[in-house]
Structure 1
């Protein structure tokens, strides 16, 4: 059973974290591995890099939301832990898109789908999603697409 390169990187990072006795890093990476393994078992298939990126992106979103909730509740230390986990997960994500690159991708997607207005937002987002996976927060992408389609 051939492992994808991202899964191999995660596995290697887990071993390094164990050797270095880096508890937070080890727990975070093992959580990611467990989430990936759970999906593989549930769907009875080997996950590729794109699927692993989706899992990691979901984990980032969960931690972002948790950190915000902890901060709102005055639990700064727990919010800091969530942000530290985000930094660890982000190491395995592709480089983030700049605003200019994102604007260019949005323009190209609008042109390729012949989008005329807000009613075409779903088509534009479906066109963009595979290109930006893990490289931009989807909420930010939605706002930018909405603004581009509105005017």
Structure 2
């Protein structure tokens, strides 16, 4: 009798484990323009309805950088080109708060980029339901070294450009 009772105690959990079926895996959610839906309740509280914008747009920002960025002599001599990527928060008043170098070029270019970003005029702040909210932005500060001329040697014209009408 004891042996039967002991066998039943051991067999019951094993039978329960054997009867469980594997749970099928859910398909991953793909975020694509045609597959996105609004979140119930309007989404996250810090997600803006309207993004922040520089007064005059990207072209005005490019003009501002052209007029204010002074390429350091060391960078000119080394022919450094590229962008210093600055992250900052556009506050509710439109001013950039806490700018930091996210991707730099040289220490001199990074310092110049931080200096110029602090000179930027106030932006149009982001809004959520009509109320200004702070938003983190990335601002690329260009160092194109326009005084340095680069020549492209042995550049091949792509076949698609050769076949384009009006180019032959």
Structure showing the higher helix proportion among its residues:
1
Bigger fraction of residues in strand: 2
TM-score, normalized by the shorter chain, greater than 0.5:
no
Greater RCO, CA 8 A, separation 6+: 2
TM class by smaller structure: under 0.3
